[in-house]
Structure 1
Amino acid sequence: MPHVNGPFHRRLVPARPDLAAAHLRGRVAAERFAPGRPARVAPSLLDLTLDPNPTGERATQLLHGEVFVVYEERPDGLVWGQAQLDGYVGYVARDGLGPQRGAGRPVTAIWSQSYQRPSVQARVLGELPLLADVPVSGSTSGFARLRDGGHVPLPHLTPSAGDPVAQALRFVGAPYLWGGRSIRGIDCSGLVQIAHLACGVALPRDTDMQVELAGAPLPPDAALARGDLVFWRGHVALMIDGQTLIHANAHHMAVAVERLADVEERVLAARGGPVTARRRP
């Protein structure tokens, strides 16, 4: 856990002046402490905001099946808590959470569906992003049978090969979405995080966290290699090789592959400044 008074504490430490997680008793000051109730994300994607405003700015998205620990239930239909996967703290809609259950299997397709029956012609019960957690109880006719009654194509749960760069390249053309974490919409740090999570590597969620905590810093004169991260103020990209990168960006409003030199020139021309850091996860 980050330091309770560190730079990311609002987003990573479940503590407010009036309420904090029970496991933080003695480490933070709060009027009361709550033990927390684990729940699972029910829809395909669930927006999380930093403030208790149902129409507020999306800070991140939770994926279907993610565990979210609830510390406060509010009369306005929101709950406050912490995502177990990356520690993100904030508010989500209460009706977007279902009961806790055991861990399932991750979806490895870039996007999938849960069918009513083990048939491609069956009615779709729900849609599933990459890394959604689904509770598999068996298999039938090429489909994984879920404990909730749905059926997911077995190829969509087959472990995928490749490094984080290969995973990121699957998102080329996906629309840019601030706070997004799926092929339906993703931002720069979300792309970097999801690409690594697909390979079993945990990274922080936001760019300012990644520039401080993701891997080790590279000296300015070090040659860049596949998988390195390059940072600008408020932006991060993933190197494909020493000269080419992939990033979700607001210039194209999409995930795109470009030459590093071209991005550096464009960002400087837009007064976004030079590269601020380079790191190797």
Structure 2
Amino acid sequence: MAGQLFAPHYARPTVRACGLSPRLLRSGPSDSAPAVSELLPGEEFAVVDVTAGWAWGYCRADHRVGYVEAIELVAPFEATHVVIEASAPVEAGADLLSPTLTGLPMGSRLSGEVQGALLRIEAGFVPLSYLRRVGHYEEDPVAAAQRLLGVPYRQGGRTIQGVDGPGLIQLALRQCGTPAPREADLQTALGEPVPDGATLRRGDLVFCAGAPGLMVDDQLVIHITPDTGKVSIEPLRCLPSEGLQRRRLA
């Protein structure tokens, strides 16, 4: 996993955070370098080095290593809320006629003051119905994944602009308080193997040809691959069965 995961004893990093807009984490210091992941608003990023305007380091949540434009990073803060919907609107004011300024993707971490049915953040107001408090988790990762149905495939993506297979699984599990690696091969170590002959159930992880998915029930799986092109629900029997791995979370 050299170049993908960071061993934090190598250097003393400077902790920063992703600003209001998500930013792709790239394999090199260039906009043309392949995306390896995506930083979500409020996620902390440990900066080890800065060269020509690009910060090299790792996402503190999953230790995914990469480059991000240093100008897009802000001072870290203590989050109070997390976005649970596919996208949460940031409104200019507290009244119903206020325009929407931007949207924040699922998993964004916010800090603000509750004012009625809204969370007031520095950039505007976010309806509380789109949020959960930090430390308050959902119980069903499948329900979280289903909110992203139809989102297109994008290598390294983790937002409604595009998501990849491991990103979908990571987002869904984190909403339920389950830390998950960013890479599919590491996700195969989550939970325990489903015993041979046992029926799959909602929330089980399956890996078809290395691509991860979540079982919706004993027959259907929600997943995304370059072939599907978008987050979809399909019968498991329609996917390649060779090398199928089945994992069950506690």
Determine if the TM-score, normalized by the shorter chain, exceeds 0.5. yes
The answer to which structure, 1 or 2, has the higher relative contact order (CA under 8 A, 6+ apart) is 2
Query: Does structure 2 conserve the Cα–Cα contact (< 8 Å) formed by 1:232 and 1:277?
Result: yes
Q: Which runs of 4+ in 1 moved over 6 A?
A: none
Measured at CA, do residues 162 and 49 of structure 1 come closer, stay the same or move farther in structure 2, by a change above 3 Å? same
Residue number among 150, 153, 156 corresponding to 1:179 in the alignment: 156
Residue number among 172, 181, 194 corresponding to 1:195 in the alignment: 172
C-alpha distance in 2 between matches for 1:260 and 1:97: 41
**C-alpha displacement at 1:125, in angstroms?**
3.7
Partner SS for 1:191:
helix
Mean Cα displacement is larger for which, 49-58 or 118-127?
118-127
Partner SS for 1:221:
coil
Q: What TM-score do you get using the length of structure 1 for normalisation? A: 0.81
Residue number among 243, 246, 249 corresponding to 1:278 in the alignment: 246
Unpaired segments ≥5 residues, structure 2: none
- Aligned counterpart, 1:205: 182
Equivalent position amino acid for 2:193 in 1: P
Does 1:240 find its partner at 2:216? yes
Equivalent position amino acid for 1:176 in 2: Y
Deviations 1:213-258 (A, max 9, x none): 2112234433222111111233111111111111112223111111
Partner SS for 1:165:
helix
C-alpha distance in 2 between matches for 1:114 and 1:240: 31
C-alpha distance in 1 between matches for 2:42 and 2:95: 23
Mean Cα displacement is larger for which, 130-139 or 189-198?
130-139
Equivalent position amino acid for 1:275 in 2: G
Equivalent position amino acid for 1:12 in 2: L
**C-alpha displacement at 1:117, in angstroms?**
1.6
Query: Does structure 2 conserve the Cα–Cα contact (< 8 Å) formed by 1:249 and 1:256?
Result: no
Residue number among 80, 86, 102 corresponding to 1:110 in the alignment: 86
Does 1:74 find its partner at 2:51? yes
**C-alpha displacement at 1:210, in angstroms?**
0.8
Deviations 1:29-71 (A, max 9, x none): xxxx4x2111110142110012233311111111111010111
Number of aligned residues = 246
Deviations 1:171-214 (A, max 9, x none): 11111111111222111111111111111111111111111x21
Residue number among 98, 106, 110 corresponding to 2:74 in the alignment: 98
Unpaired segments ≥5 residues, structure 1: 1-7, 15-20, 25-32, 265-272
Query: Does structure 1 conserve the Cα–Cα contact (< 8 Å) formed by 2:83 and 2:105?
Result: yes
- Aligned counterpart, 1:30: none
**C-alpha displacement at 1:116, in angstroms?**
2.4
Does 1:86 find its partner at 2:65? no
Equivalent position amino acid for 1:274 in 2: E
C-alpha distance in 1 between matches for 2:166 and 2:73: 25
Residue number among 154, 161, 165 corresponding to 2:128 in the alignment: 154
Mean Cα displacement is larger for which, 43-52 or 88-97?
43-52
Partner SS for 1:61:
strand
Equivalent position amino acid for 1:277 in 2: Q
Does 1:11 find its partner at 2:12? no
C-alpha distance in 1 between matches for 2:248 and 2:68: 33
Larger Rg: 1
Mean Cα displacement is larger for which, 78-87 or 96-105?
96-105
Deviations 1:57-87 (A, max 9, x none): 1111111110101110112x21011111111
Query: Does structure 2 conserve the Cα–Cα contact (< 8 Å) formed by 1:54 and 1:78?
Result: no
Query: Does structure 1 conserve the Cα–Cα contact (< 8 Å) formed by 2:81 and 2:132?
Result: no
C-alpha distance in 2 between matches for 1:45 and 1:53: 17
Residue number among 114, 118, 124 corresponding to 1:143 in the alignment: 118
Query: Does structure 2 conserve the Cα–Cα contact (< 8 Å) formed by 1:129 and 1:182?
Result: yes
